[in-house]
Every structure is written in structure tokens, then in C-alpha cells.
Structure 1
Amino acid sequence: MNPALKWTPLVMALALAAAGCARDGYYHDRNLDYGEAEIVEPLRLPGGAGGDAGVMPVPQGRIAASMEDAPRPVAGGALDRGPEAFVESRQRGEERWLLVAAAPTAVWPMLETFVERQGLTVTARDAGQGTLETPQGRLSVRRALSGGASEVRCEAAGRSHVACLNALSGYFEQQGQSASAAALARRAGAASGLVVEPLGDGWALRVPADAERVWNELDYQLASDFDDADFQRLLERDATAREFRVAYLPQRLRGQGEGMLATLAIWRDDPEPRAARLRVEAEGGGQSRVRVAEGLEGADQRELLERLARLLR
């Protein structure tokens, strides 16, 4: 046997031991390598490279979105309101439309798909304004009062097309059952620039929408929500003056008639809801405000307006 081969196992063992004893253990500890790092010049890309302008253009007009439009969490909003449908019907006189719980940028491709499935011919298309013209009528989508919702209309000869809206409603209901569409529904607790702020000696709710749209939505929400005879109810409405007369019992007065003495009728004194008049006023520039014209003051007035803000979100 070659004498040199006798030393081969020993040499290999020593080599493995030396390789495993690098630095403080059996591996290369790099925890302190940052101390040896050097500052280098930033990476420079060739001219014209690296720009993202035009890669994903955002359409302008009613369908466009911005960071200011992004919904923000609202304290108590998700607790005060239960689950809502992905699509709801709205009506004002002979005018009808749909309220879809998704942003216009998400509703627009759904609208295009609906037109394609119906076999309609598109004669004019404006993604920026959210309109599709067909020989049968005009379909449109625009941002609703809620930051994450849209208003969808279908009109023919300047009037609401009921059959078209019914078909659209069924289509959006199917879309709302899918996981992707349900994720878009974020109206509960979503804000869209609604602010309750001081105005003179009272308070006002500022809404980034024209007064007519605000009155229409309030009319629907108050009729649906203010139906509690003990705490809040809708008494009258005046579309011409854009006013509502409601009865509202502030939180601080609720439950005052409860307790051991309240079990005796002679001691019972339940507070009654207080009548208040709400007015929707235009401010110009597509803005409006809602204020309590009479009936409540101070913190009670602010409480009622904050309640209305949650209904509009």
C-alpha cells in the first residue's frame, strides 16, 4: 500500500475541522458585518428607464379616484349598521337608479361586461365620465355619496329604463356573491369627506355632493332608519325646501325612566323624542351642508348630525 494513502483520512478530517471552525463557531456569523459596510453611489438607470407615467393611467372625470377619496375607518360605524346588500335600488319620483357597494373604477368593467353579455352595440363610450351609449339607451356610473359606492343609471329618452335596471340589479347581485366582488363592498364604516363642524352657534354636516343628491339619499335613509317611536322617527319631508322634520331623543336622555321606581306607574316619566327640523343647503362647487334649523342645540345637535353622517357613509 502506498504510504501516502495512509495519511489521506487524517488530512481530510483536519480539512473538515478547519472549514467548520470559521469565526465564532461552526458557521459564518454575519451579525456584525453591517459595521464594515461602505456607502456607494446610488444606482442610476439609463435615460428614459424607470418612469411609471402612463403605465396604469387613471381616467379623469366622475370615475377618477384620488387618495382623498380613500375610505377611512369611522368609530362605531361597523357596529351601528348591519350587513348591507351589494346592490340596492333607489327611487325619487319617476327617477330610479342603483346603489352598488363598489367604487366606480370597479363597477365600470362590470358595466362593460353586462353590455357585452346582453349583446348590445356600444355607439359611444366615455370611461372618464363613466357612460356607455347604445341604441337602446344610456348606461352610466358615477361616485356615490359613500366613498366606496357607486350610482348606476340606465336611461332611455331621458327617463329611467326600469327593465334595464332590473336586469342590472340581478347581474350585480350575482357579482356580489363572488369573493372578489364582496371584498369591494366596504360601505359600512367608510367615509368620503363627511365632516361635522361648528357653524355659527351650532353645528353643520358638510357633504362633498350637490344638495339634490344629498336630499335624495337622506330621504331614503331616514325613511328606512328613523322608524323607532321611542327614540327616532321621520315625521315630515319637504322636497321643495329640502327639509325634514324628525323626532330624536338624545343619548343622554335615554333610559331616564328606568329603574326600581319606574316599575310603579306613578313614578314613571319616560322622556319623549324632541322634534327637530333638518335642512339641506347648497354651498356651490358641488358641495352642500346639512344643519339643524330648529329643535336641538349644542351637543344634542352635533349628536344628531353625526348620526346622519353614519347613515350617508
Structure 2
Amino acid sequence: MSSALKWMPLVATLALAGCARDGYFDDRRADYVDAEESAPLVLPEGRDTRRYRDAMPVPEATGAFVSQGEEFRVPPPRALGAGSGVEPGAVARREVGDRRWLVVGAEPSAVWSELERFVEERELEVVRRDASAGELVTSQARLSVRPGLQRGASELRCEQDGAPLEGCLRALARRFEARGATASASSLGVQRPEDRVRPRLTREGGEWRLAVPFDLERTWAELSYQLESDFAVAGRRELVARDAQAHAFVVDYLTLSERSAGLLGALTSLGGEAPQRIRLVLEAAGPEQSVLRALPADERELSAEDRRELLERVAGLLG
């Protein structure tokens, strides 16, 4: 080998070191300390908001902050893609038994405005109109709008004598799908997403529970939909069964303690991970309150920490 070639690795190393301020690697901590904040980007007023979305969205943390002695644990954010929330402008159906309604990806104020236009264009006779309650009664049906369980969504019902009108729901679904739910805001008084009460973890008698600020029927329908979508990963989390009469679900879930044991086993070349069968039971706790409990459904014990972690994930699906 040429003597010149022998010196090339050393020359390259020295060149790299010369590019760094401290040693072989550039320490950029000072860059963040000395950084200055610039003015925020301002987009044109007349832009089509449907064409813009976050390039790198950060999921929000849902659930309550849990204090465990002197330690402080921040609840994990909902995983991107977890569950199947309704996209802005989209329409989905929900049903429990013979009850059916629509979930629209728009704030109730926008849905109310579009609903008023729907009634006007069809020349329906309005018997009663209550914008604050989101209720519009015609001689043919009772139309109602209320905030959905998902952030930025609304529930839209069309009923007659308490029974859903399928033709009306289909017509409304077609309309909102075509319009993209872009109606302007109206006088409908609703809670803004940041003001709404979210599901929160509570502890009674040493048992973690999830308090949901929605009635039993709506919570069951949304939770059934979300679990079917999110609990579909073999060996990690799977929806095994659901009982509408008992308002209960059976899931196979790889608990936090099992994941921790599996990591230790992988490091020491021991054993593997095994999901645990768990029963999720939903109970009414008042007119607009429900409680979700996690109970073991096999011979294994379900620790308090594992219950808390599972319920925290479910809270993210309802958030």
C-alpha cells in the first residue's frame, strides 16, 4: 500500500474533528440557548382550510395526570392512527339496538347551520326551533344536534316518536358528505373542545376506573366502534367479544407488566410475551355519566397498574 494512502484515515479524522467545536461531534446545545423566536407564519385570509393540516401532528395526552407517591407520571399521548375518529367533513354511522344516528366531523355550530339550510331547501314546516338545545322539530321529524364524544365531532339524529328515520338519515349523510361540513358558525351555544369535560381516571377502593362524561348508550356505541378498530393487533390487543345487553367487552391485551417482563426476557434470552384476557364493563353512573372497569377474565391477577394503563389507552380512544 502506498505511504500516502496509509495516512488518509488519519487525515479524514482530523478533518472531521476540525469541523466540530468540541471534540469529534458538534455540540449544538448553545444553538438552542441562543435561538431567537421569529414571527409566526400568517396564511391568507381567503384560504381553503380543508387543504391545510399539520405536517407533523403531535397527539394530545388524554386522561388525568396520576400521582404515585412522590413520583409524577405523565399520561401517554394517544398513538397516531389509534382508533377511527371521524375526519373533518366526513360522516359515520353509529347504532345501538334499534337506535341509529350520524357522527359528523364538524363542530355542532357548523352542523346546525347546515341543518337549517337542509330544512329550508326542502320547505319543511318548522314546528319548534331551539338553537341553544340544538333541536329542530318539523311536522315530519325531530332533528337534533349535540357535541360528539370525539373532539371536533357532532352527533346528528333524525327521529319520529323516538324511532330513527332511515330515509332522513341517508339524505342528511349524503348532504354532509357532499358539502364537507363547511357551513359557517351559527348561534348554537355549545361547549368548545377545550372547555369540554374529558374522560378521567379515578380510584375507588384501590381500583382504577374510567369516568366518562357521557350517557351509557352513547358511550357504548362509540367505545364499540373504537375498540373494533383499534383492538385489532394480533398478540398485542384484540377485541374478542362484546355483550350489548351487559354493556361489556372481552379483550386480549398485552399488559404493561407483561410488556416489561417480555423486554427483560428478551434481554436475558428468557420466555416471551403473553396477552391477558380482560373484561371491560361499562356501567351507568348518572344521566350523563358512565364508568368503565377492567376486570380479569382468566386465571391471572390484574394489577392496579395494569388496569390503570389499559383504561388510560381506552380514554385516548374516547378523547
Q: TM-score range by the shorter chain?
A: 0.5 to 0.7
2:303 matched residue in structure 1: 297
How far apart are 1:191 and its partner, in Å?
6.9
Whole-Å separation in 2 of the counterparts to 1:216 and 1:158:
17
Larger CA Rg, structure 1 vs 2 = 1
Whole-Å separation in 2 of the counterparts to 1:173 and 1:261:
54
Alignment of 1:97-136 (within 5 A): 97-136=101-140
1:249 matched residue in structure 2: 254
1:225 to 216, 230, 238: 230
Matched, 1:141 2:145: yes
What letter matches 1:140 in structure 2? S
- Which deviations, in whole Å up to 9, do the C-alpha atoms of 1:110-135 show, x marking residues without a partner? 21112122332222212122111222
1:309 to 293, 296, 315: 315
1:270 matched residue in structure 2: 272
Matched, 1:150 2:154: yes
How far apart are 1:243 and its partner, in Å?
1.5
How far apart are 1:190 and its partner, in Å?
10
- For the Cα contact (< 8 Å) 1:146–1:191, is it kept in 2? no
Change (3 A) 1:225 1:292: same
Alignment of 1:1-313 (within 5 A): 74=62, 76-77=77-78, 79-81=80-82, 84-85=86-87, 86-176=90-180, 178=182, 192-254=197-259, 256=262, 269-295=271-297, 296-313=302-319
- Which deviations, in whole Å up to 9, do the C-alpha atoms of 1:151-171 show, x marking residues without a partner? 101113432111211121122
Change (3 A) 1:270 1:189: farther
Whole-Å separation in 1 of the counterparts to 2:256 and 2:121:
51
Change (3 A) 1:193 1:285: same
- Which deviations, in whole Å up to 9, do the C-alpha atoms of 1:40-85 show, x marking residues without a partner? xxxxxxxxxxxxxxxxxxxxxxxxxxxxxxxx86452362537743
Whole-Å separation in 2 of the counterparts to 1:188 and 1:231:
31
Whole-Å separation in 2 of the counterparts to 1:113 and 1:282:
36
How far apart are 1:94 and its partner, in Å?
2.3
Q: Matched residue pairs, number?
A: 232
- For the Cα contact (< 8 Å) 2:114–2:183, is it kept in 1? no
1:8 matched residue in structure 2: none
Whole-Å separation in 1 of the counterparts to 2:244 and 2:178:
35
Scaled by the length of structure 2, the TM-score of the pair is 0.63
For the residue of structure 1 that corresponds to 2:274, the secondary structure is: coil
The worse-fitting range, judged by mean Cα deviation, of 76-85 and 285-294 is: 76-85
Q: Sequence identity, in percent?
A: 44
Scaled by the length of structure 1, the TM-score of the pair is 0.64
Change (3 A) 1:231 1:188: farther
What letter matches 2:313 in structure 1? R
Whole-Å separation in 2 of the counterparts to 1:144 and 1:179:
17
Change (3 A) 1:84 1:211: closer
Superposed CA RMSD: 3.2
How far apart are 1:194 and its partner, in Å?
1.1
How far apart are 1:209 and its partner, in Å?
1.2
Whole-Å separation in 2 of the counterparts to 1:252 and 1:278:
18
Whole-Å separation in 1 of the counterparts to 2:281 and 2:114:
36
What letter matches 2:316 in structure 1? R
For the residue of structure 1 that corresponds to 2:239, the secondary structure is: strand
- Which deviations, in whole Å up to 9, do the C-alpha atoms of 1:145-202 show, x marking residues without a partner? 2353221011134321112111211222233375979xxxxx9999742111222222
For the residue of structure 2 that corresponds to 1:204, the secondary structure is: strand
- For the Cα contact (< 8 Å) 1:244–1:278, is it kept in 2? yes
